[in-house]
Amino acid sequence: MPSFKRIPDAGNLTGKVALVRVDFNVPMENGLVTDDTRLRAAVDTVQSLRAAGAKVALLAHFGRPKGERIAEMSLAPIAGAFSKVLGANVSFIADCKGDHVKTAIADLDPAGVILLENTRLCKGEEKGDMELAKEIAALGDLYVNDAFSAAHRRHVSTAVLAELLPAYAGMTMEAELDALDKALGAPERPVMAIVGGAKVSSKIDLLKNLVSKVDMLAIGGGMANTFLAADGVNVGKSLCEHDLAATVREIQAAAKASGCEILLPKDVVVAKEFKANAENRTCGLGDIGADDMVLDAGAATITSLTQALSRAKTVIWNGPLGAFELTPFDTATVKVAEAAAKLAKDGALVAVAGGGDTVAALNHAGVAGDFTFISTAGGAFLEWMEGKELPGVEALLQ
């Protein structure tokens, strides 16, 4: 990955105003933050800027107000929540542009912190409007993007400001970009990708990109049923996109041409009902009944994948290998995750994972803390895996 500027590259920040794009799109209930993970993720960047003598003006979005002033989508309640997490006062102003905002920033104590109003309440934010960008840029001396999760959008606060001010990656963004570079940019080989989830149709671009980048591609979950069916396996009543057989064959041909080995289940766990603790059995691919549903990979598949992991030097993981939310159909996801985590903890493997279901699955397995890096960026992580340019990242590289 080309180099990008980091906060230490900004030089003397005493008295400067840093406009910092953070991800404060947090879950709320009755006006209270119910999960402060994203707030805690911003602390290191904010504290490093304060320690360098800068005032910090925070930019963030919440929900999808589409430029309309919706009271329930104000960031006002989040200022207090972030104050507690930061251990310092965070003031709030109900706007993100204008002379009154500039005055509020000027009135801050040295190294003070202020949260500006939800950027998406401003018309033009989501369109990347240059005039709005100029108004916001006038509030600060430098721009810091610490919200990789919003980097796939070319909004004013995620990309355009970087065209108007000296731009730097925040510490959360920096960690994400460094980890992703290790996973696909300049990885240690062999590289293995594990891709699971329900549907091939939602991950066609992802699979087409990965087969050109990795040495082994393991496919699990409902997606594996579509691949197996395309190979002539009867998958019974399983979740399967039979109409994508031609697409599967295209992906298989591309993998063969680039020397990527596709790893599919060797055996499966089937049940008649999609529910926790449903009566089930493990069987070979030729023994799936007409009324069976494939809900997990079997023991032979788990062994095959853990052996593949032991050969790999880098693994990138997106999506569970079975219906992990239902016991006992979480077995393959948990066992393979445990194997990857142990190798990563022992320093034998760079293990990077991301995507909502993936994070939930690894937390369920109790191994998230042992992975090299786990991205919580959702859509941005998926688009990066698809090989797409992320405007918020590209703006930092210019």
- Determine the pLDDT at residue 47: 98
What percent of the chain has pLDDT above 70? 98
CATH of domain 7-171: 3.40.50.1260
Supply the Cα-derived Rg of the chain in whole angstroms: 23
Exposed/middle/buried for 378, CB within 10 Å: 0-12, 13-18, 19+? middle
Q: What is the mean pLDDT of the chain?
A: 95
Active-site residue, from 63, 236, 356, 387: 356
The predicted structure's pLDDT at residue 67: 61
| Superfamily holding 187-385 | Phosphoglycerate kinase, N-terminal domain (3.40.50.1260)
pTM, entire model: 0.88
pLDDT (tens digit per residue) in 302-318: 999 999 999 999 999 99
- Rounded CA-CA distance 225/16 in Å is 56
Question: Which is catalytic among the residues 199, 208, 313, 342?
Answer: 199
Residue 142 CA to residue 157 CA, distance in Å, equals: 13
**Residue 49 — very low, low, confident or very high, per pLDDT cuts 50/70/90?**
very high
Side chain identity, residue 13: L
Q: Where are the domains of the chain?
A: 7-171, 187-385
Q: Are the CB atoms for 223 and 198 separated by under 8 Å?
A: yes
Asked whether the domain spanning 187-385 has the same topology as the one spanning 7-171, the reply is: yes
- For the ranges 42-51, 57-66, 216-225, the lowest mean pLDDT is seen at 57-66
| Catalytic residue from among 38, 55, 153, 182 | 38
Candidate list 98, 236, 379, 387, residue with the active-site label: 379
Q: Determine whether 379 is an active site residue.
A: yes
User: Is 199 one of the catalytic residues?
Assistant: yes
**Is pLDDT above 90 for 66?**
no
pLDDT for the residue 185: 87
User: Using CA of residue 354, residue 356, residue 358, residue 364, what is the dihedral sign?
Assistant: positive
pLDDT in tens, 127-177: 999 999 999 999 999 999 999 999 999 999 999 999 999 999 999 999 999
